[in-house]
Chains A and B, each alone.
Chain A
């Protein structure tokens, strides 16, 4: 049976298609429309999924939306009632949209689907799946486990903000939930807002900023904002949050605890903001650890699956792994709402299979195929497209491609690497990546300021050969989706001088922490991607080639985009980003492009083409 899953109308719209339990394709709409976190109906992503599956409307067994709009509306009504008359301003903003659009989501979906292909908007085939069940299904069904605890945490779905489910064979049942307004995701988002970053996209920055600070405010958070029980269940103290009734996350009472008003995005970061980031990170880790410890003891399950926006907190994930309550952890690479499209499709498929007594489909190491589920381009197609836009390129055979790219990396060049199928989820995993030499002491700053055009404090992640990960990092497990953080091995670290130890906050940025400084955060941590021959042989060959030249089996791997831009999808997107930044060398398929050979007239102002995130 073929099932199409859709997530849309909030942020990060996406589509995914599943055939008999196997994932055929999945992509986020933003990659096609070039609008970051595009919330619109994912028409391009749906068309792409249908094309890859070679399917038309008649072939589909079901189309599944990733949440239940009426349940969400019920939550809204009850929230307004509970807080009336305080939420009037928010009500006034929200109701017109609900009444004119969101209550009619079934009609809207049918209309949009019908516009893609006649017959696709079939009311009899349209299903709705609960938000957290979609997340749970996206984590459990693609995992390699036959039984697992599944924990989902995010801002809010319909009512649930966190859920615990048990997966056994093709059964998946939620047995515990925490409900709105008590939300770990919203607590984190409140600090994201308060420290001057954008909610729903700046959470990564808070996590990246945390190691520059001390968790000085953790006690104040526990004392005032959140009451956490030993089993990890919690309640927020709503006196300090305004997201139930207002148009912001927090108000002045929140600021009174933490020493002032929220930082405006244009204001400079101070030590206080770093301490706040460290504090909310510490609180999040404590809550997650209490939850996982308690659930491990309660269920005796030895495998853990994670999804939901909070599961993208790879620092917390790393701590859960090291805590040792679970033998193995699988984190859905598209843990945010985009992954809900995939989960909804899988949930509907297994719902039918259970009735028929069908079996669970599993794969090794998992069923996500390295998250390479997006569009790809054939070599002739790449050549035609590059020729049409005036790019100067040469075609290389596989060996030449690897040798020349590895040489470019070893000589300190920033390399654009566009290969095979695009990744599904927020991370570039070696098919739409900017790569660089991690040994360079200046690379982190250079990449942030001259290539990515983003804040200088933000760390970069290492991609390392799976068989060499334990030689360089304190980790000996698969982390193919860059969702586990571990420290650089002590033997690879560089000792700090007495003077360097005196430095505070952002001053620490310039201190070299290891032999691979470009991917070593200031607390020696690294967000690791292990690279596997089974899922990405070409990327693996490139890292091996780099190791032969340098002795280092690690590369800097960051997404192929600039600040505010969705990760590149097509060869044209890649060329445009290459020409608009200080990337020196670009490999698209077997085509090699060097910056100094291009027509400078083709360079456009790429940096200001996108709103900063």
Chain B
């Protein structure tokens, strides 16, 4: 939960609260991927990490 609070504070500071719905969808999808894959090991993608 502390991460979510921190993220919310971050978005507030950055004046990017409009990202919250997007973030919720992404977290939902991402969470599903985590559950379906059972592993967070991903290949190296050049600009993403």
User: Which residues from chain A sit less than 8 Å from chain B, CB to CB?
Assistant: 9-10, 70, 74, 76-78, 80-81, 90-104, 106-107, 155-156, 180-181, 186, 189, 199-200, 243-244, 247, 249
Contact = CB atoms under 8 A, between A and B. Distances in A.
Contacts of B29: 91, 95
B19 A95 contact: no
19 contacts: A9-B49, A10-B49, A70-B6, A78-B19, A81-B22, A93-B42, A93-B43, A94-B42, A95-B29, A95-B33, A96-B42, A98-B30, A99-B31, A103-B3, A103-B7, A106-B6, A180-B47, A200-B46, A247-B45
Contact of A70 (B10, B22, B41, B42): B10
Q: Across chains A and B, which 3 residue pairs bring their CB atoms closest together, nearest first?
A: A95-B30, A100-B40, A99-B30
Contacts of B27: 99
A94 B45 contact: yes
Contact of B48 (A76, A103, A249): A76
Contacts, number: 80
A184 to B, nearest CB: 14
A249 B47 CA distance: 9
A96 B33 contact: yes
Contact of B40 (A97, A247, A249): A97
Interface of A is mostly: helix
Report the interface size class on chain B.
Answer: 20 to 34
B49 A104 contact: no
Contacts of A74: 10-11, 14, 16, 19
Interface in B18-43: 19, 22-23, 26-27, 29-31, 33-34, 37, 39-43
B3 A107 contact: yes
Given A78-B19, A90-B45, 19 more contacts: A74-B11, A77-B22, A80-B26, A91-B26, A93-B48, A94-B45, A95-B34, A96-B33, A96-B40, A97-B42, A97-B49, A99-B27, A99-B40, A103-B3, A107-B3, A155-B47, A156-B47, A243-B46, A249-B46
A195 to B, nearest CB: 15
A155 B45 contact: no
Contacts of A107: 2-3
A74 B18 CA distance: 12
Contacts of B33: 92, 95-96
Contacts of B11: 74
Nearest to A92: B33
A77 B19 contact: yes
B40 A90 contact: no
Contacts of B3: 103-104, 106-107
A76 B41 CA distance: 18
A99 B22 CA distance: 14
A102 B48 CA distance: 11
Contact of A189 (B6, B7, B34, B46): B46
A194 to B, nearest CB: 13
Contacts of B10: 70, 74
Give the interface centre of A10, A76, A98 by most chain B CB atoms within 10 Å.
A98
